Amino acid sequence: MNKKTRTDKSGTYDVPISTYQTRLGNLPEASTTALDDCADLLSQVERKLFAQMQKVDTFKGKVFNQIKSFFVSFFGILSRQFNSINFTLQGKVVSIRSNLDRHISENKERVEKSRKTLEKRYKKEVEPCQRKKHLNKIHQKKRRLAGL
């Protein structure tokens, strides 16, 4: 369970964050359509907000307030919805950035392992009847290495 740090007069403490979800049963068609439209709108707002975050160097202070007021008026959403989308989006960005080093190191390991395997396959002597199969394995390993 994730935790969020809160500070008040008594000090700093961690508060657990919980996320709830449910499946909707047999809803009327009108309700389903309305919920789908709402989900489409909020996902569009999230994508546009991400694009805007990439354009602006600092996403704080007056710039943030201007962007927030624009999004609230343009998309017709509540300020609370905007804050929720912004918080979720910042969490996604932080998560991806924190995992970036791990992804890079994993890919370097994969490349090294593939190169070592290729060297072994080149050195391996094969019977003439197995030669075509062996060359195909080398070819496929080269293709995989090029994709990494």
103-135 pLDDT, tens digit each: 999 999 999 998 998 888 888 888 888 888 888
What's the Cα-to-Cα distance from 98 to each of 37, 92, 93, 103, rounded to whole Å? 33, 10, 9, 10
pLDDT tens-digit map of 30-81: 998 999 999 999 999 999 999 998 888 777 788 889 999 999 999 999 999 9
- Position 127 scores a pLDDT of 86
| For the chain, domain boundaries | 31-147
11: left (phi over 0), alpha (psi -120 to 50) or beta: left
Do 86 and 71 contact (CB within 8 A), yes or no? no
pTM for the full model? 0.63
CA distance 46 to 54: 12
